[in-house]
Amino acid sequence: MKRASNGTLAAAIIAAVIILDQILKIWVKTHFFYGEDYAITDWFRIRFIENNGMAFGMELGSKLVLTWFRIIAVSLFVFYLAKISKRTDLPRGYVACIAMITAGAASNAIDGIFYGLIFDAPPIPLVAEMFPSGGGYGSLFYGRVVDMLYFPLCEWDWPSWFPMVGGEHFVFFQPIFNIADATLSVSVAVLILFYSSVLGKKPEEQKNAEGEKKEDSEVK
């Protein structure tokens, strides 16, 4: 059976991540009021929030600038994937990571571009409506990114005598994020840990490196 090309692999990953991420976001947006929290386990919750910023709810700079930054970044990654789609010297995991980064950025960009137009923002405890008759809560490029995955793995109260934070309640891993954030962050970490030698390497250099590995294995 013929192995799928890098281009096919990348397209499948991008489509899968965007579809899964958008389905979950739309479901949460239309079934939870803002701030609603649902406990799946003691350490895994669904908590609906929105943000104007980067991954994991971080706020950074202008909303419009961030949306355009995502669009430009996605365009550059798509161009890079098209460029490497026919290369056979690259590890499949490397291509998958680039595709996952592209998908994560693209899906969050969809929120920022369109969600202000296609959703309203009713007062709590009402839930949002998709394609409301009265129009959305914002304009094109001014939508908010939907987050919902919350993993408070453990929490405790600091002793009152503890310096700086005494008496405060601490929750380990407080960020609330979405599938796109997780996909993007994990793929970046995998790239750094396992494919740093591939980053920036030219095709000729990669082929020479593979040739040397092959010769070494034959000698052994």
Q: What is the pLDDT of residues 112-157, one digit of tens each?
A: 999 999 999 999 999 999 999 999 999 999 999 999 999 999 988 9
45-73: b (≥16 Cβ within 10 Å) or e: bbbbbbbbebbbbeeeeebeebbebbbee
Is residue 107 scored above 60 in pLDDT? Answer: yes
Ranking 72-76, 117-121, 141-145, 210-214 by mean pLDDT, the lowest is 210-214
Q: What is the pLDDT of residues 11-52, one digit of tens each?
A: 999 999 999 999 999 999 999 999 999 999 999 999 999 988
In the numeric block, which tokens belong to residue 53? 């910023």
Active site residue: 21, 111, 181, 216, which one? 181
Active site residue 157: no
Active site residue: 21, 111, 120, 147, which one? 147
Q: What is the pLDDT averaged over residues 51-66?
A: 67
Domain boundaries, the chain: 6-214
Amino acid symbol at 30: T
Global confidence as pTM: 0.85
Band the pLDDT of 65: cuts 50, 70, 90.
Answer: confident
